[in-house]
Amino acid sequence: MMTEEGKEARRQKMETMAAAWEDPELTAFMEWLGEQGFTDIRLFISARRLVFLAVQCQELKRHEYGHSRMYIVEAAWKGEYCCAYASSLTDGSRAEIVRRLKETAGVYINREIPQGIAESKDFRGQRWREIDQEAVGESLMCAEREALSCEKAHFVEMCEYRQYEETVVLLDGQMHYLADDDGDCTVTVRVVAKDGDSVAVATKSGIADGGGWEAGPRDNTHDWHSRNQQEEFREIVCGLARRAAEDARLGLHAQRIASGRYPIVIENCVMAELTGHYLPMFYGENLMHHTSALAGKEHEQVGCDLLRLEEDPFSRKGTCRRRIDDEGTPVSKKALLRNGVFENVLYNSKSGDKAGDGSTGNGFKPDVTADIGTSATNVILSSEAGTCSREELLQSVREGIYITKIEGMFAGGSTESGDFSLLASGNRIIDGKLGGAVNQFTISGNICELWKDIEMIGDDPVYRMADRACVVSPSVKAAGLMVSGE
């Protein structure tokens, strides 16, 4: 009979997946699968935790906490590859796993049987910190007050903290293991500005360093409850709130703009979003199936000389911290574009084997129950030859548009052709200075043409998430883009 302490310890161990490969329940499960007739068994376990806090009108409106887990089994059944998943290993779930494994055996053509793990390794390096909910809430309320104290700020629609952790463990039939983790904590503030009938909204989000997260081994000096940590967190959140309020104010009394072709400066967050949407153009399977605008253009000039796009899993500018991909292959730093030339393709095991190049450590699941696809870790857009300040970017434009927001990326951008047509808003640029706000126009073009037209690259990188990848980009200035307005 388990004591209350024992039950609590087991619950915590389940949540944190401290050493899954030592869990007798897992060992028993693997053995049991073998007894059912499955061979070459490989288990992928994902455990996730989430904390979420939202403040509105100086009250803590929403608080959420949760953890979830998924077991994905790959094996061979009568020599054929098979796979299935379940969120637990109860008797009912086990029966369902077996049913589904047998059902999927033979549906793939020439799918490789899962490989064993050569050497056990633990790559985990993140440390979830239990936050002081009251202190985080206080900081969010402080940020809300900060935003509302700004000129024309009417309402703070969103002021949220989110902390997320995922631990992944790969196990083979001999209980060899590979373990890794990832996570971050972010803050998002969305401010509504109002002046008469005019309403404008701006959103800012950022990594909440000093929040409930710590990269690297636990250090006793990193204590959330310490005054320094709380002050640092408050500074970050209030800074985001002030910038959101200011950007919202700048968006008031937006006018329509005449259709035409304009020189543009694309704000960092917009460029990060655009770049992130087109990452699939670098994926091996899309190039091989000719569903990428870069198909057939390997080692060709697809961007300007100034342009560098690089995957760097080890960069602190991005939020991804993975050291192995979801197939257990080590991640690596690689240039996607160097001096505007298409240098490297991203492969998982399947696409890499097909290409004859092998995996580049980019085999990731688009969601935990899905089959392996391709993705990236931190992808950073930078300049090969010097950067400019935002003021310098603006000063280089006599009459143009500063794009601060885009919508419709999901369906408005084709990775097959590189074309895009998106709703946009921003500010006029008149004689090198920011002018009045403009909205309700579309920008249309092609990403490769945009890359070629880049003339200046800024020094103000920010990050945006693009599915599994984290894209970091500064603001850029490009020669021209088609705008449809009045």
Partner 1 sequence: MLAESCIERILDQAVSCGADYAEVFFENVERTRVDLVDSEVARCACGCESGIGIRVFRGLESEYLYSADVREECVLGLIRKHLGTGGVFGKRTPLSRFTPHGIVTQGKLPRDRKLKEKIGHLKEAVDAGKREEACIVQGRAYYVDADQRVQIANTEGVYAQDQRVRSRVRFMMTAAKEGGAGRQTGYIGPGAMQGPEFLESEEFLEYAREAARNAKGMLGARPCPAGRMPVIISNGFGGLFFHEACGHSLEGSAVASGCSEFAGRLGQKIASEKVTLIDDGSIAGEWGSLGIDDEGILTQKNVLIEGGVLKGYLLDRLNARRMGLKPTGSSRRENYRFAPAPRMTNTYIAPGPDRLADMIGSTERGLFVKNINAGSVDPVTGEFNFNTGETYLIEKGKITIPVMSATLIGTGGEILPRVDMVSDNFALGHGYCYAGSGQLPIGAGQPAVRITEMTVGGKEL
Q: Under rule CB under 8 A, which residues in 220-249 are in contact with partner 1?
A: none
One-character DSSP codes across 423-449: EEEEEEEETTEEEEEEEEEEEEEEHHH
Shortest approach of partner 1 to residue 147 CB, angstroms?
Answer: 14
Q: Is 83 among the residues that bind partner 1 (CB under 8 A)?
A: yes
Task: State the DSSP code for 280.
Answer: G
Ramachandran bin of 358, using left for φ above 0, alpha for ψ from -120 to 50, beta for the remaining angles: left
Please say which residue, 191 or 457, places its beta carbon nearer to partner 1.
Answer: 191
The answer to whether 116 and 176 have CB atoms below 8 angstroms apart is yes
Using the contact rule CB under 8 A, the part of the chain among 28-36, 374-382, 410-418, 462-470 near partner 1 is 410-418
Supply the minimum distance, in Å, between the C-beta of residue 221 and partner 1. 27
* Candidate residues 16, 27, 106, 432; the one interacting with partner 1 per rule CB under 8 A: 106
Q: What angle do CA 408, 266, 208 make, to 5 degrees?
A: 80
The answer to whether 68 contacts partner 1 (rule: CB under 8 A) is: yes
Q: Is 421 in the site for partner 1 (CB under 8 A)?
A: yes
339 interacts with partner 1 by CB under 8 A: no
Q: How far apart are CA 189 and CA 169, in angstroms?
A: 34
Helix (H) or strand (E) holding 127: strand 126-128
Among residues 63, 225, 253, 433, which is the contact residue for partner 1, using CB under 8 A? 63
Angle between helix 227-250 and helix 133-148 axes, rounded to 10 deg:
30
- Site membership for partner 1, residue 200 (CB under 8 A): yes
Cβ–Cβ under 8 Å, residues 248 and 461: no
Q: Which stretch binds partner 1 (CB under 8 A): 26-34, 58-66, 210-218, 326-334?
A: 58-66
486 near partner 1, rule: CB under 8 A: yes
266-285 residues in contact with partner 1 (CB under 8 A) are none
User: Of 357 and 486, which CB lies nearer to partner 1 in the complex structure?
Assistant: 486
The distance of closest approach from Cβ of residue 8 to partner 1 in the complex, given in angstroms and rounded to an integer, is 6
16 binds partner 1 per the rule CB under 8 A? no
The minimum distance between CB 47 and partner 1, in angstroms, equals: 9
Residue 36 touches partner 1, criterion: CB under 8 A? no
Check binding of 478 to partner 1 (CB under 8 A).
no
Contacts 24+ apart (CB under 8 A), 360-364: 360/329, 360/332, 360/334, 361/324, 361/325, 361/329, 361/330, 361/331, 361/332, 362/283, 362/311, 362/325, 362/331, 363/325, 363/326, 363/327, 363/329, 364/325, 364/326, 364/468
CA distance 98 to 77: 10
Q: Which of residues 86-105 bind partner 1 (CB under 8 A)?
A: 86-88, 93, 96-97, 100, 103-104
Q: Is residue 56 involved in binding partner 1 (CB under 8 A)? A: yes
> CA–CA separation, 411 vs 380, rounded Å?
24
Partner residues linked to 419 by β-bridges: 446
Binding pattern to partner 1, positions 121-160, x when CB under 8 A? Answer: ----------------------------------x-x---
Residue 59 in the binding site for partner 1 (CB under 8 A): yes
Q: Does 78 bind partner 1 (CB under 8 A)?
A: no
| 66 near partner 1, rule: CB under 8 A | yes
- Token output for 380: 């950073």
Tokens of 155: 């309402």
Please report whether residue 371 would count as binding partner 1 according to CB under 8 A.
yes
Number of chain positions touching partner 1 (CB under 8 A): 72
